[in-house]
């Protein structure tokens, strides 16, 4: 048996393990230090109570023969697909429930979607980037070209007409940079994709953090995007489903390549290699769309938004360049004086006892940038910012 | 963008939709008929109460910040991986927890495992067969060769030394035939795989139905199987998790091809394209391995075994050839007088109001065979057998 040798081309990622090693070593030598972590992308607030109640009720249903549910539709129960379509309707986007596929999270579908595309395609990926976009394509041996996201373009790269690509990854609001495209910018991408018969894989996992009413929360707010884009979204960062696992993927009926409807290809993929999300979890996810669910989710997001605001204010006061924070849970800051991101990491850990993520871990354009997240507790975030303010002032004085 | 054109080589499966159409049409014309379904592979008994209680408790944990769990390990929580390793230990099989990967069901992993294998491999698949084995390989454009499972070999094909294959699918107890390999037969397969540097994908989803203590319940009961086999298993048919979604895959450390440890490749696949099973569901699955959980699961399986026995007794009395039923939830019977399986389906529906699955839906060797399942209720199963007895006697008299 021959293995898939493309796997051997994968680069090992030591980002989070190196961070953990460094933090552990520091803590060992400084047992008194209270280290605050603003590095990971995981949430800290518990699940909304409506979700918990719905899941407990569903579990009870599963304990009686009369209400027991066995195999469900692989693409998700109609009650959840319709609720998601209803969520889009509120944004003015008309979707049929059959265009919505319930998933066990955006990460799974972002990887698995590639199954329906030929390995001969060229993939366009921004740098810095969520590493999964790169790795899943390396695994299939696809040719990858990168586009620079940097301070000059506000970390929002625009299409280069000279560059030919077939599959384009866009993530807005972005992980790791927090930058968010305007509708006009997305329209330029849609136009490029249609001109080049390319498909856009649009990662909208952080859409709920957009607070500016002029910024799009779905690529389908742009005309004709349904003819070139697949959108991935998740309950992870809104309803805290990082460990509960549910998301969705929109594959519009209008999406036709080589004369084949992608919706049908994806349906075939999912009915063959997937068996649906747990009924109990789907009930929890559906509760998010109830009136009370929307209220509870908003309350959670508001906490994280408040944290982002505190971080953004601190950096502004200290004269540090950054993107994100306003329409995103991520803040992407320029390390002072073009400092290397790992050196900044070490200094911040040692002098302020605050942990963030070095930008180098997301690509070459992240080398002198640094990611902070707003998913901590408000108290910890405030304390971390107090320390960062002192640290940056000291750095300034030392210059 | 070029689609994966291998998808266009997939044959549409109309098996279950055709069955549903025929049943609906019959019911429309005969509204008084009480049709009994012994066709689908879904379970009917509710979840064991221990699983429901554990999931409700886990949901409560998720509602408090102190006990909230976000991202878990993609390969499953240690508590569940260790419990599964402990389950194997009771069968005398030593596994490290790191060799066990928690999945959202055997179907997902049976499809996704192919990601780590080259598309250049030749795949050996029995006929009749669970269609997913075929379709997932057609999607990747792999060459498939079939081996005949038929009455002559008791629907248990043995290796043909003249045939070269790289990836071998075995399912025992088998779906759809219910036939189960002996340890000696599996040892012959292990020996063939080792001689040919082939990997065996061993689907053990029905292992809990084996009641004969001499029959193996895992391929790892055979010496050296850890050097050539990956085993897939599921909570679906034992604890009724068809709609709750949990299973596991064993990738032994000893499994090395091209100098690469498959365990590491699969770990990389799962950490990149999967984000773990819901914490709540993993808690439910772990409860299966408690003393009370094992008792409740055994009680459920005993109900299905009782059904299988009733079906087997009826067929024996009527002189009908069949496999399965004793160590399997499936009964695979020869249609009387070599009748075509769809004709038998129609006759059984119209004259006995009993629905089964025509063997033709599982491959050419199923054309004059028929699958019944033991997953119905005992009352319905008894009534169906009463009707089938009458039906078969009528058929005999008519001859």
CB A211 within 8 A of CB A305: yes
Q: What is the pLDDT of residues B109-158, one digit of tens each?
A: 999 999 999 999 999 999 999 999 999 999 999 999 999 999 999 999 99
- DSSP one-letter string for A248-297: EEE--TT-EETTEEHHHHHHHHHHHH-----HHHHHHHHHTTSHHHHHHH
Q: In 3D, which of B305, B377, B370 has the Cα closest to residue B332?
A: B370
Q: What is the pLDDT of residues B96-109, one digit of tens each?
A: 999 999 999 999 99
Query: Is the pLDDT score of B171 beyond 90?
Result: yes
CB A48 within 8 A of CB B72: no
Q: B313 is written with which tokens?
A: 């007794």
Bond prior to A173 in cis (omega within 30° of 0): yes
CB A173 within 8 A of CB A304: no
Amino acid A286: pLDDT: 98
Element spanning A57, H or E = helix A49-61
**Spans of chain A below 70 pLDDT:** 399
Query: Is the pLDDT score of B399 beyond 90?
Result: no
What does the angle CA A350 – CA A353 – CA A354 come to, to the nearest 5 degrees?
A: 115
Across A259-271, b (16+ Cβ under 10 Å) vs e yields ebebbebbbbbbb
Sign of the C-alpha dihedral computed for residues B79, B85, B86 and B87 taken in this order: positive
Query: What is the spatial distance between Cα A74 and Cα B303, in angstroms, rounded to a whole number?
Result: 28
Bond prior to A31 in cis (omega within 30° of 0): no
Longest dimension (CA), chain B: 73
Q: What is the pLDDT of residues B82-93, one digit of tens each?
A: 999 999 999 999
CA atoms within 13 A on the CB side of B346: 6
CB A125 within 8 A of CB A359: no
- The values of phi and psi at residue A334, to 5°, are -80, 125
CB atoms B108 and A273 under 8 Å: yes
Please check whether residue A49 touches B, CB under 8 A: yes
Query: What is the spatial distance between Cα A238 and Cα A285, in angstroms, rounded to a whole number?
Result: 11
Sign of the C-alpha dihedral computed for residues B313, B318, B319 and B322 taken in this order: negative
CB B249 within 8 A of CB B266: yes
From chain A, pick out residues whose CB is under 8 angstroms from the CB of B8: 260
Which of A138, A168, A272, A284 is most worth mutating to test chain B (most B CB atoms within 10 A of its CB)?
A272
CB atoms A278 and B275 under 8 Å: no
Q: B48 is written with which tokens?
A: 């064991």
Q: In 3D, which of A152, A216, A153 has the Cα closest to residue A190?
A: A216
Please check whether residue B132 touches A, CB under 8 A: yes
Name the DSSP class of A338.
G
Distance from CA of B97 to the nearest CA of A (A): 21
Please check whether residue B64 touches A, CB under 8 A: yes
- DSSP one-letter string for A161-228: TT---SEEEEESS-TTT-----HHHHHHHHHHHHHTT-EEEEE-TTGGG---TTS-SSGGGSTTGGGT
Q: A373 is written with which tokens?
A: 């997240």
Query: What is the spatial distance between Cα B330 and Cα B311, in angstroms, rounded to a whole number?
Result: 10
Element spanning B81, H or E = helix B78-90
pLDDT-derived band at B397, boundaries 50, 70, 90: confident
Reported for B297-301, long-range contacts at CB under 8 A and 24+ positions apart, including other chains, are B297/B48, B297/B208, B297/B238, B297/B239, B300/B45, B300/B48, B300/B238, B300/B239, B300/B240, B301/B208, B301/B209, B301/B238
Residues 324-363 of A with CB under 8 A from B: none
Across B30-46, b (16+ Cβ under 10 Å) vs e yields eeeeeebbbbbbbbbbb
Q: What is the pLDDT of residues B278-302, one digit of tens each?
A: 999 999 999 999 999 999 999 999 9
From chain B, pick out residues whose CB is under 8 angstroms from the CB of A200: none
Please check whether residue B20 touches A, CB under 8 A: no
- The values of phi and psi at residue B253, to 5°, are -65, -25
Give chain A's end-to-end CA distance (angstroms, integer). Answer: 60
pTM attached to this predicted model: 0.97
Element spanning B232, H or E = strand B229-234
What 3-state DSSP class applies to B75?
Answer: coil
Please check whether residue A46 touches B, CB under 8 A: yes
Burial class (CB in 10 A: 0-12, 13-18, 19+), A195: exposed
Q: What is the pLDDT of residues B27-68, one digit of tens each?
A: 999 999 999 999 888 999 999 999 999 999 999 999 999 999
How many CB atoms within 10 Å of residue A91?
12
Instruction: Compare CB distances from B63 to A49, A132, A280 and report the shortest one's residue.
Output: A49
Please check whether residue B311 touches A, CB under 8 A: no
Q: In 3D, which of A292, A301, A93 has the Cα closest to residue A209?
A: A301
Amino acid A166: pLDDT: 98
Q: In 3D, which of A111, A23, A37 has the Cα closest to residue B271?
A: A111
Please check whether residue B98 touches A, CB under 8 A: no
CB atoms B111 and A63 under 8 Å: no
Amino acid B298: pLDDT: 97
Amino acid A394: pLDDT: 83
CB atoms B274 and A3 under 8 Å: no
CB B275 within 8 A of CB B260: no
CB atoms B71 and A42 under 8 Å: yes
């Amino acid at each position: 048996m021959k293995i898939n040798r493309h796997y051997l081309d994968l680069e090992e990622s030591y980002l989070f393990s190196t961070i953990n090693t460094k933090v552990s070593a520091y803590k060992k030598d400084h047992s008194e230090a209270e280290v605050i972590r603003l590095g990971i992308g995981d949430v800290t607030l518990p699940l909304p109570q409506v979700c918990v109640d719905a899941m407990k009720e569903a579990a009870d249903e599963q304990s009686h023969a009369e209400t027991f549910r066995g195999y469900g539709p692989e693409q998700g129960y109609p009650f959840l697909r319709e609720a998601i379509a209803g969520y889009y309707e509120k944004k003015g986007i008309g979707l049929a429930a059959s265009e919505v596929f319930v998933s066990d999270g955006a990460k799974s579908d972002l990887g698995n979607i590639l199954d329906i595309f030929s390995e001969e395609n060229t993939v366009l990926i921004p740098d810095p980037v969520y590493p999964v976009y790169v790795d899943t394509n390396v695994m299939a041996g696809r040719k990858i070209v990168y586009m620079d996201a940097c301070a000059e373009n506000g970390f929002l790269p625009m299409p280069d007409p000279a560059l030919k690509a077939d599959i384009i990854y866009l993530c807005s609001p972005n992980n790791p940079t927090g930058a968010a495209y305007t509708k006009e910018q997305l329209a330029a991408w849609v136009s490029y994709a249609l001109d080049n018969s390319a498909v856009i894989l649009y990662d909208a996992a952080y859409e709920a953090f957009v607070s500016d009413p002029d910024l799009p929360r779905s690529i389908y707010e742009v005309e004709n995007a349904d003819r070139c884009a697949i959108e991935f979204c998740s309950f992870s960062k809104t309803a805290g489903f990082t460990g509960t696992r549910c998301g969705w993927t929109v594959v519009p009926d209008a999406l036709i390549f080589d004369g084949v409807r992608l919706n049908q290809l994806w349906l075939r993929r999912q009915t063959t290699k997937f068996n649906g999300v747990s009924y109990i979890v789907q009930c929890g996810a559906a509760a998010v769309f109830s009136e009370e669910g929307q209220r509870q989710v908003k309350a959670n997001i508001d906490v994280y938004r408040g944290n982002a605001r505190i971080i953004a204010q601190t950096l502004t006061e200290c004269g540090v360049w950054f993107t994100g924070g306003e329409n995103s849970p991520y803040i992407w800051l320029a390390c002072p004086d073009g400092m290397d991101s790992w050196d900044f990491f070490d200094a911040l850990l040692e002098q302020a006892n605050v942990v963030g993520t070095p930008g180098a871990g997301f690509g070459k354009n992240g080398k002198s940038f640094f990611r902070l997240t707003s998913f901590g507790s408000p108290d910890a975030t405030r304390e971390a910012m107090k320390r960062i303010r002192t640290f940056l002032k000291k750095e300034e004085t030392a210059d």
